[in-house]
Amino acid sequence: DIQMTQSPSSLSASVGDRVTITCQASQDISNYLNWYQQKPGKAPKLLIYDASNLETGVPSRFSGSGSGTDFTFTISSLQPEDIATYYCQQYDNLPPRITFGGGTKVEIK
């Protein structure tokens, strides 16, 4: 099974700061990597799909990059409403299987 190592597990940053989260796959997953935002008590929300594509309606301060085994998620200028936990997610298709990273809790300093 492919393992996803997400780091850090938590971070604290100031409003306006650039925030970066990384996700490493245990083997090549091409660009089958997505990023979600989850606020307390809510369902996750898709932000980035296929490693670097911004989901419709998602603010442009969110971005993703990477391919193969190493991926990065960036918030270019942290806003108070970005306080949430962020998850990476990979997909295998033979057989169909999804694995989530452990999550990164983002807080305001």
Partner 1 sequence: QVQLVQSGAEVKKPGASVKVSCKASGYTFTSYYMHWVRQAPGQGLEWMGIINPSGGSTSYAQKFQGRVTMTRDTSTSTVYMELSSLRSEDTAVYYCARAGVCSGGSCLDYWGQGTLVTVSS
Q: Would you say 17 or 91 has its CB closer to partner 1?
A: 91
End-to-end CA gap in the chain: 37
Verify binding: residue 102, partner 1, rule CB under 8 A. yes
State phi, psi for 34 to the nearest 5 degrees.
-125, 155
| Binders in 3-62 for partner 1, by CB under 8 A | 30-32, 34, 36, 38, 43-46, 49-50, 53, 55
Name the one residue in this structure whose structure tokens are 């990597």. 33
Q: Which is nearer to partner 1, 44 or 66 (CB)?
A: 44
Residues at the interface with partner 1 (CB under 8 A) = 30-32, 34, 36, 38, 43-46, 49-50, 53, 55, 87, 89-91, 93, 95-103
